[in-house]
Amino acid sequence: MAALQLTGVGVSPGRASGPVVRVADPLGEPSAVPAPTDPEAEAGRIAPAAAIVADRLNAKAATVEGDSRAVLETTAAMAMDPALAKQAAKLVRDRALPAPRAVFEAANVFAAGLEAAGGYLAERAQDVRDVRDRIVAELLGIDPPGVPELSGPSVLVARDLAPADTAGLDPAMVLALVTEEGGPTSHTAILARSLGIPAVVAVRGVLALDAVGLVVDGSTGAVEVPDGPVEVVAATVQAEPEWDGTGRTADGQRVKIIANVGSADDATTSVAAGAEGVGLFRTEFCYLSATTEPSVAAQRTAYAKVLTPFRGKPVVVRTLDAGADKPLPFLTPEDEPNPALGVRGLRIGREQQGVLDRQLEAIAGAAADSGAEVSVMAPMVATAEEAAWFAERVRAAGLPRAGVMIEVPAAALSAKEILAEVDFVSLGTNDLAQYVFAADRMLGALAALNDPWQPALLRLIALVGDAGAELGKPVGVCGEAAADPALGCVLVGLGVTSLSMNAAALARVGSTLAGVTADACRHAARAVLSAKDPAHARAVARAALHLS
């Protein structure tokens, strides 16, 4: 029996329960006021706070082995660096700053110096900021930000999580993830699905609950506080439907069923799940914490690891899609008032052509190393002129096929002109929905507008499908819409030629498509285009496809 139940949006399936560990909110910039009444005493608080942080890190290091131990010990040594404490204490004395503000400013100067030095040293700048936040939190008497070290399997509860934090979660320790904010197509949701961690986002009130344990259902979105003590139960893997691994309708129309990947682990899991190739390799997921541009050689090695399991198979590599909710520290402009509408995706590539050209060189090398049939596509393209420019860069790098994502409404409206410039397009329905409805995909409160069954979104997709048919060029979908089995059939009816999704969805989408004819897909597509809302669209599509 549940003593209390909250509901959010289930974004990664599975039911699990366990003790709650709260992820502290990100630390804001500490205030420069009030000035300390006794600067000498205030300055004297800094070194002991740093020592406490170092002791904690060393104690944790003693409980682990290998790389984790080395990382924790190095971070502890940074906390004990007398130069940082001395410089911060000087700021307290000279400028009458409170100690947390002084540590913040002193550490920022150190981090900027490391970044200016470049190379290996620049990569340490992020560690200095980590130490900074830990000491500031200690001085303020609050929990350090980020995901804490877990001492056992736990349910994580957070206001929201950055993609970089989510990517680092250990599925063996994190039973489930619950966030107060967040939307179903946010990158945190996408990463939770790829890690197989049950997740519910937009659970209003979960932070105020202060529950000791939770039962989480990532399929229905239910989050329950149990009546008695909570049992530790990991999600069970759901039985896969039968699918022979070749994407086609019941009457034999070929539709490639391919995978979205962001790491070598994703690639291995996707091959095991029957992926015919990759429709979206999110290269930026390899570099969510990188503070400097990775070298061509490092990129080539990283990409080859993801491509190698797909030797002889088609793989679409997307160039870096930095910006909005996945800023890359070395690339994304700071302080844009509206990052989702800012210089992101290909727009950065145009401003910093060297970064794009070096990435293309690395992709070409990785293609040769791995034997995968590599195509390259650009994110956030708005015009045919941008598409032509990108295709030219791809060919100059010796890569055989160039495509672009259709995720900006202007691109959908110009699909024919864009397709004339490139070899294929792929619909990014996550961003296309957020831009067509002017509804931030990270906001749980706007999840209904970001529903991929929205008829207005489907009408835009139909324009792109028609353009593909007219020019005889492939039109894929690699947004989350492709992972919905019924919607996948509708997309095929709208002219889509490949569906790309997380590994867990492949068999369900493949087997559903194998059970319906191409005619039924077209019938369903016509029906959704005149539906009045998402619920109506779902109902008419299921009826046309004879799905229960």
Nearer to ligand PEP, 292 or 429 (CB): 429
> Does the bond joining 34 to the residue before it have cis omega, within 30 degrees of 0?
yes
SS3 223: strand
Binding site for Mg ion (CB under 5 A): 407, 428, 431
- Single out the catalytic residue among 478, 489, 521, 523: 478
Q: Are 420 and 467 in contact (CB under 8 A)?
A: no
- The span from the CA of 58 to the CA of 69, in Å, is 9
Tell me which residue has tokens 């860069």: 393
Q: In the window 442-481, what residues touch ligand PEP (CB under 6 A)?
A: 478-479
**Which residue in 166, 179, 332, 430 binds ligand PEP (CB under 6 A)?**
430
Q: Which residue is nearest to Mg ion (CB)?
A: 431
- Closest separation between CB of residue 427 and ligand PEP, Å? 7
Q: Are 493 and 516 in contact (CB under 8 A)?
A: no
Residue 313 CB partners (closer than 8 Å, separation 6+): 276, 277, 278, 372, 373
- The span from the CA of 201 to the CA of 211, in Å, is 17
Q: How many CB atoms lie within 10 A of CB 318?
A: 27
- The span from the CA of 244 to the CA of 267, in Å, is 19
**Which residue in 431, 440, 451, 484 binds ligand PEP (CB under 6 A)?**
431
- Closest separation between CB of residue 25 and ligand PEP, Å? 24
Q: Which DSSP symbol is given to 250?
A: T
- Closest separation between CB of residue 426 and ligand PEP, Å? 8
Nearer to Mg ion, 291 or 434 (CB): 434
Return the closest-CA partner of residue 156 out of 219, 233, 214.
214
- Closest separation between CB of residue 237 and ligand PEP, Å? 25
Nearer to ligand PEP, 100 or 184 (CB): 184
Q: How many CB atoms lie within 10 A of CB 159?
A: 15
Count of residues engaged in binding ligand PEP, rule: CB under 6 A? 10
Q: In the window 478-517, what residues touch ligand PEP (CB under 6 A)?
A: 478-479
- Single out the catalytic residue among 187, 489, 521, 523: 187
- Closest separation between CB of residue 148 and ligand PEP, Å? 28
Nearer to ligand PEP, 27 or 381 (CB): 381
Residue 294 CB partners (closer than 8 Å, separation 6+): 286, 287, 302
Q: Are 8 and 200 in contact (CB under 8 A)?
A: yes
- Closest separation between CB of residue 260 and ligand PEP, Å? 7
Nearer to ligand PEP, 412 or 478 (CB): 478
SS3 145: coil
**Residue 282, interface with ligand PEP (CB under 6 A)?**
yes
**Residue 12, interface with ligand PEP (CB under 6 A)?**
no
Nearer to Mg ion, 322 or 516 (CB): 322
**Which residue in 321, 386, 440, 484 binds ligand PEP (CB under 6 A)?**
321
Residue 270 near which of ligand PEP, Mg ion, none (CB within 5-8 Å, type-dependent) = none
Residue 107 near which of ligand PEP, Mg ion, none (CB within 5-8 Å, type-dependent) = none
Nearer to ligand PEP, 321 or 484 (CB): 321
- The span from the CA of 438 to the CA of 104, in Å, is 36
Residue 429 near which of Mg ion, ligand PEP, none (CB within 5-8 Å, type-dependent) = ligand PEP
- Closest separation between CB of residue 407 and ligand PEP, Å? 5
- Closest separation between CB of residue 42 and Mg ion, Å? 47
Residue 230 CB partners (closer than 8 Å, separation 6+): 17, 18, 19, 212, 213, 214, 215
- The span from the CA of 152 to the CA of 135, in Å, is 25
Residue 282 near which of Mg ion, ligand PEP, none (CB within 5-8 Å, type-dependent) = ligand PEP
286 is catalytic: no
State the Rg of the chain over Cα: 25
SS3 440: coil
Q: Which two tokens stand for residue 160?
A: 């929201």
Task: Give the H or E element holding residue 115.
Answer: helix 99-117
- The span from the CA of 456 to the CA of 454, in Å, is 6
536 is catalytic: no
**Which residue in 429, 497, 498, 502 binds ligand PEP (CB under 6 A)?**
429
Nearer to ligand PEP, 30 or 184 (CB): 184
DSSP string covering 331-371? TSPSS-S-GGGSS-THHHHHHSHHHHHHHHHHHHHHHHHH-
**Residue 249, interface with ligand PEP (CB under 6 A)?**
no
Site string for ligand PEP, 399-428 (x = CB under 6 A): --------x--------------------x
Nearer to ligand PEP, 110 or 453 (CB): 453
Residue 490 CB partners (closer than 8 Å, separation 6+): 458, 521, 524, 525, 528, 541, 545
Segments of 398-513 assigned E as strands: 402-406, 424-427, 475-477, 498-501
- Closest separation between CB of residue 481 and Mg ion, Å? 12
Q: In the window 250-269, what residues touch ligand PEP (CB under 6 A)?
A: none
Interface residues toward ligand PEP, by CB under 6 A: 280, 282, 321, 407, 428-431, 478-479
Q: Which residues are catalytic?
A: 187, 478
